[in-house]
Structure 1
Amino acid sequence: MSAVARIDTATAVLPLPAPLHLGAMTVTRREYSAVQVTADDGTTGIAYCLSREAPMTEIVERLVAPHALGAETDDPAAAWERMLRGSAIVGRVGLVRRAIGLVDIALWDIAARQQGAPLWKLLGTGDAPRAAMLVAAYPSPDRTPRAVADEVLRQAAGWSQVKISRIPDPAYMRELLAILNAELPSTTGLVVDVGFGWPDADTALAEITQWGEPRLAWLEDPLLPEDAAGVARIRQGSGLPVAVGDEVTDPAVLQALVEVGGVEALRLDVVAIGGITPARELIAWAAERGLPVSGHVYPEVTAHLGIQVETFARGVNPYDPAPSFITEGPRFDGTITPLATPGLGFGLDPAVFRFGKD
């Protein structure tokens, strides 16, 4: 029997070459938080996330790690319950749940490594290639719709979906969507990510009517996910498929979106929702209702869950520097195939994440 002996954290800050504008947010850098959990037999597990400028490592150290130490590593679900109950007085959703998610993912990594098996085998999701969505472009006023469309089209071949962000200029969006609808391969769906950028359904519908008649695989995160009724109104009023769920930490919020009837797919952030343990339950719940689930970032982890995976272009890209510190990991070629390597099957560059060091 093995138990958690140590939990170390690390933070890395990587600048972006240009600011990204998504909804009401402007992103000038990517800050990542990571954990390394060590069992008393020496087996280690890892996880990382976008901190979104929150003090994630401090929350792990002060509010979550004390409840995970000593937990048995062959039962991540029991450890998850222990962490949730131990920190319940300060937060069962929000940042604390994200911190629990980091440790939970690392514990699943350990459990699989100790069995000498890839995580997908423990989870029973198989190793078939996963459908994948490529985050292809973030439009900006300093680039023409033609230039942004060309960026998307250069990358689109082989991907089942490509995603762009909304820019709050209806004329710009109308031109950009017209180009992409005309020139994207017929096998590639187009997603527009609003990033919670509209305050209400009326504002959303008024703007969407100015986009012409776009063909979208879905409209993503048009409103805050807690506004399930507003999301349903957008779906009904625009006729566009809708997917919602990025960054949600409360499963009840995602379930309400389904129950109100406004979504064609759930977006699932495996860290934010609290890790692999609650993600499995939510995926099963959605499957019972015939609803597809699409992962939000962290493709190296999401690939093991048997759902659609979201990724940025591998290698150097202007939107996500994570590939610069990910070692090994799944294959990306329009679909994503998890490997047979034990555990999660990827590593974190020790020159970027210095666990246990100042």
Structure 2
Amino acid sequence: MKENIITKVEAFNVRVPLGRPLKLGAIEIPDRQYVIVRVYDEQGYVGTAHGLTRNAPIAETVLQTIAGIWTNRSFDQYDSLYELTLKANVCLGTNGIFYRALSLFDCALHDLMAIRLGVPLFKYLGGALRSTPAILVGGYPVPDESEDTLSGEMKLYESYKPAGVKIASTTDPLKDGKRLAICRKYLPQDIPLMIDCVWGQRNAEAFAREVSEWEGLNIGWVEDPFPPDDYESIRLLSENTRVNVAVGDEQSGYLNMLRLMDLGKIAVLRLDATVCGGIRSFINIAEEAGKRKIPVSCHVFHQIHAHLACVLPGVKWVEYMLPESDIESYQRLWHEDLVLDNGHFTPANRPGIGTLWNEEAIDYYRE
């Protein structure tokens, strides 16, 4: 029998409810739809990855554009097959739906390759076990938001000793300034505040004036203020405020990421292995960020990113949404989560990514 062979690729969606709908700028989030990608080998091992669909046909794209290239092929051809996959789908560009599909396939494949050797992903990639500071995410605008609700969130987050707290923008800088001031009132000064501006601004000079008013609030960074490819506006904001600018978490493409760093003059690179092209691409991009002395902050999916932080010293933070905040629901898909210990995450010391999947829950929520 042939060895090191991928025998099957599986991709499907699960839709997991939230306690209440969320709004992220113009994006309505009534629930969380995740895509799960699984890669099987000839010995019966399975590698698994999951990510957000963003209401796009990611599972179908995995099956239609990627599975046929890899099925019945050997892991030993990884480099050439990855390049072939890019070339065969060049018409689909270097961002968007195809790259999300490729990212999740590559993450699942790395999970499988590490599982086959019986080692955690970080060790498979040549890293050393370490703990990484966590940034807690919350503060999604809701109709009944008040000082009491924001103060309650901040007190909850403080109890976990995070490296920072990030809230979501209303896209109105004046409102956001008031919300940030309330958050700072109830959050210790030594815990930085970040704000995700959800690509909602259009005038860099006007927004820079607003951001300058926030400088006394210990703002860790302003995230994704402009549309992803508006490098000029990103640069103008970076050059006209003392507040750090961070971009990149929903983007992919090696050259695009270099432009974000170089043309955008950003201070922090946001990176997500489930979006940017997978483990391979994450490592390449993070290494380029390291050459530029730009720190990397990971976008959610803490279980896989905690491993990558053990491999790349420039990965300074992983991101987490507390189950009690009810803005994520993927915790229902596994039996056991990583422990947030004194504001840090350490990856699972089990083979592969180490997620203990709850198959009954996956079947229940599967579409």
Matched with 2:23 is 21
Alignment partner of 1:100: what SS? Answer: helix
Distance apart, 1:250 and its partner CA: 1.8
Question: TM-score of the superposition, structure 1-length normalised?
Answer: 0.92
Whole-Å Cα distance in 2 between the matches of residues 169 and 93 of structure 1?
28
Matched with 1:259 is 262
Matched, 1:343 2:352: yes
Contact 1:173/1:211, CA 8 A, preserved across alignment? no
2:332 to 298, 311, 324: 324
Task: Give ranges in structure 2 of 5+ residues lacking alignment.
Answer: 310-314
Shift >6 Å, 4+ stretches = none
Matches for 1:1-358 after TM superposition, within 5 Å:
1-73=3-75, 76-157=78-159, 158-208=161-211, 213-260=216-263, 262-306=265-309, 307=315, 308-313=317-322, 315-333=323-341, 334-354=343-363
Deviations 1:278-306 (A, max 9, x none): 11111111111211111111111111111
Alignment partner of 2:319: what SS? Answer: strand
Whole-Å Cα distance in 2 between the matches of residues 79 and 353 of structure 1?
30
Whole-Å Cα distance in 2 between the matches of residues 236 and 89 of structure 1?
35
**Would you tell me which structure has more helix in proportion to its own residues?**
2
Identity over the aligned pairs, expressed in percent?
A: 29
Moved more, 263-272 or 92-101: 92-101
Residues 52 and 108 of structure 1: CA distance in aligned 2, closer, same or farther (over 3 Å):
same
Whole-Å Cα distance in 1 between the matches of residues 353 and 197 of structure 2?
31
Deviations 1:199-257 (A, max 9, x none): 23134235435657432000111112211221121122232111001210222222112
Whole-Å Cα distance in 2 between the matches of residues 171 and 226 of structure 1?
25
Paired amino acid for 2:283: R
Residues 325 and 62 of structure 1: CA distance in aligned 2, closer, same or farther (over 3 Å):
same
Contact 1:10/1:57, CA 8 A, preserved across alignment? yes
- Number of corresponding residues: 356
Contact 1:328/1:345, CA 8 A, preserved across alignment? no
Paired amino acid for 1:21: K
Residues 279 and 16 of structure 1: CA distance in aligned 2, closer, same or farther (over 3 Å):
same
Whole-Å Cα distance in 2 between the matches of residues 204 and 175 of structure 1?
15
Moved more, 196-205 or 153-162: 196-205
Moved more, 32-41 or 183-192: 183-192
Alignment partner of 2:132: what SS? Answer: coil
Moved more, 116-125 or 81-90: 81-90
Task: Give ranges in structure 1 of 5+ residues lacking alignment.
Answer: none
Deviations 1:102-143 (A, max 9, x none): 111111011111111100011223211012111132133421
Alignment partner of 2:360: what SS? Answer: coil
Contact 1:139/1:148, CA 8 A, preserved across alignment? no
Whole-Å Cα distance in 2 between the matches of residues 76 and 181 of structure 1?
48
Distance apart, 1:31 and its partner CA: 0.7
Alignment partner of 1:332: what SS? Answer: coil
Distance apart, 1:260 and its partner CA: 2.4
Residues 186 and 127 of structure 1: CA distance in aligned 2, closer, same or farther (over 3 Å):
farther
Whole-Å Cα distance in 2 between the matches of residues 241 and 34 of structure 1?
34
Whole-Å Cα distance in 2 between the matches of residues 139 and 127 of structure 1?
37
Distance apart, 1:75 and its partner CA: 5.9
Alignment partner of 1:14: what SS? Answer: strand
Alignment partner of 2:130: what SS? Answer: coil
Whole-Å Cα distance in 2 between the matches of residues 19 and 12 of structure 1?
17
Contact 2:150/2:182, CA 8 A, preserved across alignment? no
Alignment partner of 1:47: what SS? Answer: strand
